[in-house]
Structure 1
């Protein structure tokens, strides 16, 4: 973090310093549609307070809203950073570049923005220094607080933020209080609990927006609470005490004419994070995962054989392999099966690992936070020596400054031992996977463990998935599912996750009809291109993704039947494709259809209530 903050300070110095005029305190996106501006304004009890606003297509997106922080400096004197400020410089910089992720939803990502750095001093005389760094992209606007290294204020104690988001009247939000919660549309007024970000918004003029955060790897979680009609303010999960230099997480405001464009542009979150720091990434392997429900040697070997047949890449041993996960006595360095999960306790884990590796399959082990916090530095080299390829963190603490720093440091440590990571349960991504791509996925979503309905599933792409991958733990052929088989087949195309956990509550014997699941057999988990074709939160969504020359399309509806007609213009012109289509047959089963198509054809999905359609288009 220190190295990155030093680089950030150098970039701040590299820009062009401007005279302080209204134009010098304003930036626009490269396409000119988004504008971010700042000024000092006298308000009751708050003279010389920083106030910003954002416009989209020359209309208010964020109306004039206060900025700042309050803290108690242990240097010369207590300081506040939301009033009595002076602007001492304004610097602008332009970036036009592209970058290539180790893995992702697309192979090439634009990083085009105009940047403004405004430097403030607090109080009379020299005072302390705070900078606001703002970037305007075509996809959205981002801004953050930055405190350079300062001998006058050596330690910062941030109690709260005064980062407001004053929205136009009649704005509606897709609200949830926590990462694994249900979503509901609400007016922005009188929320009993603060909202989890991403917070997707529908303005009365038809504009869609999303308020979220990026690079929250060394800063407390921020939620948004209402303080008046159409007025939100940032709520820190905990205090932060840190030596300067200190950077807050990025606050991001995305805007688009259609909700589909918010998801299409979600690479912005990763672009706001530092580049990859892992030199050799050859060992980082995305793929499909299935867990062993038996915690037995025989069951594990049966699962390996099923994995070979179905092209599943990883086997996962979940809670219980080293004892009850919540008992302090449970030791994650030893195999001791929880008798409540397997009374026989007949799991020879070294043999299961040997057999899996002999068949070209990799192993992921689950470890609860209780063992992680006590044994992390012992477990990581040990698992590497066992031939384990990944670790799943369970029920980790999230939100506070302390646990945020601890968790991201745990991912860094895992990388040193060639272990990919999946974080469960409330952790939600903010783009750290760009910097440490061994963090393949995380939960932070209300997935199939909670048996959500189809309406919920059509909301998720426009909310939670804006911030990145989610481990939804897909089920198939389970009686508790309220959605059709076609719906379930399509979801892993729609929901991005480099580790796709399939058949979550299933065993190999649960899938006698292999044709019903053959769509998942060769389904990629990372992509070269992504097109969000159509959709509206709570109604339906259709997404196309390309791997090599082949395209995969997933479409799902809510609890209503629906016809969705899609042009195939994303296909390469002049080429013929073999289309394989999987959909509900009306009797609870999946039917398959095949035909040849080109970019001039159309794809029609006749969806049952809570239904879906999964398609692969293979270029000839």
Structure 2
């Protein structure tokens, strides 16, 4: 990645404002476009204990009412071991006083290696609020705030401690107080179904991102960005305050300064589609790429080899060539029992499987090979495994059944991604793990599961929720099927998913074999679709009902529309096309009268930016379009 255009950074030290904020006058920070406003302040109780609060509004509409900012630490073991003053405060933040406030304005743009857009603007106003314990000045903490037009982000940051003490984070209690009547799309874990619930009587904690609909017409997504050295955090209902959510850590985190917690992200939009097209805020809250040479990182489409033999592998490679896929995957057990520490991921353990010969056959045909490796083998062998795979000319590794949640496993995954990058190996992480924007820092991280996809065969309604929830976090490996008879949607619905669901490594034909194909003409849509984009637009959509997404690569557009379990008629305006030009659109739609097993009709017409297409969708149906400029 490289920086270009304009970089503006201004620094203002506000000692007087720091003093006023400590006594109740809020610090006010606005987004560059001034739609979003965040207020930060402290309140002091009768016994001189202080509490930090914040509020967020959008165009004077309440987003977050008065909510607590709080993090709890127990450093007594480190303090005793290093003969330092013991902090006796029951609430670690209760005696923090504001020492300094520094505001900045930042405006740069950068080019992602892969993405939903060809360049990303990183534009925000920020405040670093420095606080110190009034009885122990070795403890300094910053509340760092960024206000983007797309949302606001907050984190706790600990500058380098001059005494060298460690930080044992026991809890983080960041609050989010919403207007009464707010509804949330709740999912208890990363591969769970979604339920639209009020902020009351939840059956457990909610995954992130968490998308909410406010009674004032706004849509909000709560997210977590830059989770690299901390424990995963979900959202739970407050025990004592209605309509309020609180962060809930998987467990403690033992961190060494200088270090920051992950960012707590509050995206705000007037339409749910804007949450999708603004999800680059998650990337902007991560560090720039640490990989200087990225020529080896190639997006593409991949299919799994269902029967792992040499003959079947070559048949899949031939299928990949025919249908313009870039990769094939050998899934688990190719090197032995996946959950056994005795299995060696550098040795083939199944019969009739000439891996070197398969890799060479794929290379000759222009098809790369990915290998599945379970966490047991990764844990034991990752220090040397990726270098071996590089020598084998393997292109990528799918991490299987990765442990998630704890501080330990968070840092382990981060290290494994870095080790893979050092050996020019791309990565796909399964099963419950979700991205928090770290693919900006390590662009070899192509995708991750953390989604209820076609392995579970969800219904169409679930599929219409995912773009507004899971995909805000970044790419997901939904593992799109096509021929499998367990699919609960139409085939045009499945085709359209490749345009709606973003993943630079897009798995197609999950559970399918090359023999299932009978030259269905509509497969040309998947043949031609790329997996990394120059522009993305959500034309229309409502979570749980329908969505139309248009994506551009060069001068070509790929459009996907899906509905839930109900039939629906929609108008699709083509205003995203360049004015004054003519285009040819190929439309792939469900039609029971078409005499193929998949019943997908392929039609074409000439269109322009003034065209409005009227489409009728079957229950659980969809429609895909490929639009090319007529030269």
Q: Which category of TM-score, normalised to the shorter sequence, fits these structures?
A: over 0.9
Within the candidate set 538, 545, 548, 2:544 is matched to 538
Q: Which residue of 2 aligns with 1:460?
A: 466
* Residue from 438, 441, 449 that aligns with 1:443: 449
Equivalent residue for 2:230, pick from 213, 219, 232: 219
Measured in 1, the distance between the counterparts of 2:429 and 2:378 equals 12
Q: Map Cα deviations across residues 423-479 of structure 1 (whole Å, 9 max, x no partner).
A: 000110100000110000000100000000000000000000011000000000211
Q: Find the aligned partners of 1:244 and 1:88 in 2 and give their Cα distance.
A: 19
Query: Are 1:129 and 2:140 an aligned pair?
Result: yes
Whole-Å Cα distance in 1 between the matches of residues 194 and 553 of structure 2?
Answer: 31
Q: Which residue of 2 aligns with 1:92?
A: 103
For the residue of structure 1 that corresponds to 2:193, the secondary structure is coil
Output the CA distance in 2 between the equivalents of 1:88 and 1:443: 43
Describe how 1:171-570 pairs up with structure 2 within 5 A: 171-227=182-238, 228-337=241-350, 345-570=351-576
**Contact 1:262–1:462 (CA under 8 A) maintained in structure 2:** yes
CA 1:125–1:308: 2 relative to 1, 3 Å: closer
Distance in 1, Cα, partners of 2:168 & 2:138: 16
SS in 2 for 1:481: coil
Return the match for 2:67 from 44, 50, 65.
Answer: 65
Q: Give CA deviations for 1:124-167 in whole Å, capped at 9, x if unaligned.
A: 25251000010100000001100001124620000001211111
User: Is contact 1:128-1:153 (8 Å) kept?
Assistant: no
CA–CA distance in 2 between the matches of 1:288 and 1:44?
63
Greater shift in the superposed pair: 539-548 or 599-608:
599-608
Contact in 2 for aligned 1:16/1:93 (Cα 8 Å): no
- Verify: 1:77 aligned to 2:86, yes or no: yes
Q: Partner of 1:434: helix, strand, or coil?
A: coil
Mapped contact 1:67–1:82 kept (Cα < 8 A) = no
Report the Cα offset of residue 47 of structure 1: 2.1
SS in 2 for 1:448: coil
CA 1:405–1:125: 2 relative to 1, 3 Å: closer
Q: CA deviation at 1:516?
A: 2.8
Corresponding residue SS for 1:449: coil
Aligned to 1:140: 151
Per the TM alignment, residue 15 of structure 1 is displaced from its structure 2 partner at its CA by 4.7
CA positional deviation for 1:389: 0.6
Matched residue of 2:439: which SS? helix
Q: Which residue of 2 aligns with 1:161?
A: 172
Q: 1:108 aligns with which of 119, 136, 143?
A: 119
- Cα deviations across residues 53-100 of structure 1 (Å, max 9, x unaligned)? 111111211111111211112233236543122111111000122111
Match of 1:589 in 2: 599
Task: Tell me by how many angstroms 1:324 deviates.
Answer: 1.8
Q: Deviations over 1:233-266 (max 9, x none)?
A: 1111111112211200000001111111111111
Q: Is the contact between residue 483 and residue 516 of structure 2 (CA under 8 Å) also seen in structure 1? A: yes
> What is the rounded CA distance, in whole Å, between the counterparts of 1:446 and 1:43 in structure 2?
46
TM-score w.r.t. the length of structure 2 is 0.93
1:512 counterpart SS class: coil
Shift of residue 304, structure 1, vs aligned partner: 0.9
1:476-508 Cα deviation digits (max 9, x unpaired): 021101100000000010000000110010011
Contact 2:26 2:41 in 1 (8 A): no
1:420 CA displacement: 0.4
TM norm structure 1: 0.95
Deviation of the 1:12 alpha carbon: 11
Is contact 2:401–2:430 with CA below 8 Å preserved after alignment? Answer: yes
Deviations 1:305-364 (A, max 9, x none): 111111110010001211121223221110002xxxxxxx21111111110011111000
- In the alignment, the residues of structure 2 paired with residue 569 and residue 362 of structure 1 have an alpha-carbon distance, to the nearest angstrom, of 38
Give the aligned length.
603
* Cα deviations by residue, 1:157-208 (Å, 9 ceiling, x for unpaired): 0000121111111111000111111100111123231111101011111111
Unmatched 5+ residue regions in structure 1?
A: 1-10, 338-344
Q: Is the 8 A contact 1:82 1:162 kept in 2?
A: no
Deviation at 1:604, TM superposition (A): 2.1
- Closer, same or farther in 2 for the Cα pair 1:551/1:13, shift >3 Å? closer
